[in-house]
Amino acid sequence: MSEYQQYAQYSNTPQSYQAGPRPQRNRNSGSRPWKWVLGAAVAVVLIVVGAVGGYIAGGVSVLSDEICPSDAKDELDDYEYISGDFTEATGPKLSRAQAGDYYLQAIDTSWQAVNDVMLTSFGDDLSATREAARSASKSLAETATMLRARTWPDSVASRIESVARDYESMAKQATAISRSVRLQTVSRYLSADWGEPSDDDANIRDALGLDAAKPHTMPVEIVALDDRGEVTSSYTDATHVVDVTVRSNVPGTLTDVSLGMDLLTSSGEQVNNLWGELSHIELAHGQSAVISIDTKADYVKSGMKLRLTQLAVVGAENGTHAVSTPDTVPAVTDFRFH
């Protein structure tokens, strides 16, 4: 894998259908072909009318709540961005101190549910992802409702409504995911930064004196880095290798993990990058693996450090998922070259 994709890509084999045996006309009964044709035509009309009626009623199958990718996209186009006048929050007026505590409570209401959707989706388990999304849609809607159930200080009021709209939109996206019948429908909405805090969230936290938002769990945790030093080969220039131990947080199976890091001077200036990949594996939840990343040996000096810049995983159904990387990862931040 040489590049990271924002959205997962899946290969699906279209289903094929074979017509049943053709009805045979009983010549001895005196029946005529036009009678069979007329009967078939009536049946087709009834099926079409039923399908149209089901679509008008909800745009989905009348026998289930599942939705196909094209219908899901058409539906979500209507509310991915909610326009119009801001909804004025109502309810008890909050002081600055009260506003901070209440804001954290509202956001925490859906944090774990969003985390569960993301982690489950990385393993390409459609059934489990649908179930997690169904739960998340309720929690996300509750967060939006809580944010609008108080009167906020003027310094954050407009941004609160913007964040409420973000959660309202994510709730509707989660609902569509919970009804998806294809993995590519899921990937259409779960981009690398889905569920990540917005700029408005950061501004609200600054205004209310709150800590930065808690990052969501990465699909693999970087546990440790080991400096193996210079490695020579008769085929290539000498390289400097670092072994990175990762542990899966995904409740499923990963078949590929790749990551990239910037090589930095002790003062933080970028010098080069390191990249590595572990493929054709079956990494289950809680299991660990080692990925070797390297760069030209001439670039590395004692005391240099690393910064995680890229991370991607591949699930059990070959869906490639690019991951939003946090600013700091303890094992990476603490590492120094010998």
CA gap 132, 119 in Å, rounded: 10
What is the Cα–Cα distance from 88 to 82, expressed in whole angstroms? 15
Cα dihedral 69→75→76→81 (10° resolution): 160
Per-residue confidence at 67, pLDDT binned at 50, 70, 90? low
- What is the reported pLDDT for 211? 96
Say yes or no to pLDDT of 9 above 70. Answer: no
Distance CA 272, CA 12 (A): 38
Question: CB 218: neighbour CB atoms within 10 A?
Answer: 22
Residues whose CB is less than 8 angstroms from the CB of residue 297 and which lie 6 or more positions away in sequence, other chains included: 230, 231, 237, 238, 239, 240
Among 43-57, 227-241, 291-305, the range with the most confident prediction by mean pLDDT is 291-305
Can you give the pLDDT at residue 69?
Answer: 52
Q: Model confidence over 110-141: pLDDT tens digits? A: 999 999 999 999 999 999 999 999 999 999 99
CA distance 44 to 60: 19
Q: Among 67-76, 193-202, 228-237, 296-305, whose mean pLDDT is lowest? A: 67-76
Backbone angles phi, psi at 268, to 5 degrees: 100, 5
CA 179 vs. chain centroid, Å, equals 16
Residue type for 318, please? Answer: N
What confidence tens digit (pLDDT) does each residue in 220-274 have?
Answer: 999 999 999 999 987 778 999 999 999 999 999 999 999 999 999 999 999 999 9
Q: 1 to each of 232, 275, 310, 317, how far by Cα in Å?
A: 24, 10, 12, 16
> Per the structure block, which two tokens stand in for 296?
């030209």
286: buried, middle or exposed (CB in 10 Å: 19+, 13-18, 0-12)? exposed
> Does residue 186 register a pLDDT over 70?
yes
What are the strands, taking DSSP E only, across the chain?
A: 220-231, 239-248, 253-264, 270-284, 288-296, 305-315, 320-322
Count of residues making up the chain:
338
pLDDT reported for residue 298: 93
- Phi/psi for 7 (5° steps) reads -125, 150
Residues in CB range of 7: below 8 A, 6 or more apart: 187, 188, 191, 322
Chain-centre distance for alpha carbon 249: 14
Q: Is the pLDDT of residue 168 over 90?
A: yes
Where residue 289 falls (left for φ over 0; alpha for ψ -120 to 50; beta otherwise) is: beta
d(CA 33, CA 29): 12
Mean pLDDT computed over every residue of the chain = 81
Tokens standing for residue 248: 């899966």
Q: Residue 149: pLDDT above 80?
A: yes
Kindly state the DSSP code that residue 276 receives in the 8-state scheme.
Answer: E
Neighbours of 155 (CB within 10 A): 14
Rounded to 5 degrees, φ, ψ at 133 are: -70, -35
